[in-house]
């Protein structure tokens, strides 16, 4: 069976890519986010610090929600990487 072609992803020619990752996300390791961020030229990384895990968008974090909403609705990315404190998750209900 032939090997799959190796593709080098650089992000060259793309608009800013917004990436969101929690430092303590067990599903998507932060180290992997940092590696992908370095590989994608012009990307912006929003790092959720101080707790939390997967699924931080639209889960009661005004810092994260504001950045992601601006990107999705207006195509506006932050000028540089941003850190948002995790904050408590809302109670289920």
pLDDT in tens, 37-70: 999 988 999 999 987 677 788 888 899 999 999 9
Q: How many structural domains is the chain composed of? A: 1
Look up tokens 């608009």; give the residue: 15
Q: Is residue 54 part of a domain?
A: yes
Number of C-beta neighbours around residue 20 at 10 A: 20
Q: Is residue 43 part of a domain?
A: yes
pLDDT of residue 15: 87
Question: Model pTM?
Answer: 0.81
- Are 34 and 44 in contact by the 8 Å Cβ rule? The answer is no
Q: Is residue 38 part of a domain?
A: yes
Q: Is residue 90 part of a domain?
A: no
Q: Is residue 44 part of a domain?
A: yes
Q: Is residue 8 part of a domain?
A: no
Q: Is residue 53 part of a domain?
A: yes
Domain that includes residue 68, residue range? 18-85
């Amino acid at each position: 069976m032939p090997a799959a072609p190796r593709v080098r992803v650089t992000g060259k020619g793309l608009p800013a890519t917004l990436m969101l990752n929690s430092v303590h996300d067990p599903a998507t390791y932060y180290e992997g986010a940092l590696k992908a961020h370095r590989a994608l030229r012009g990307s912006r990384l929003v790092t959720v610090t101080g707790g939390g895990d997967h699924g931080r968008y639209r889960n009661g974090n005004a810092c994260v929600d504001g950045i992601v909403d601006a990107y999705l609705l207006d195509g506006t990315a932050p000028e540089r990487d941003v850190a948002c404190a995790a904050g408590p998750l809302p109670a289920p209900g």
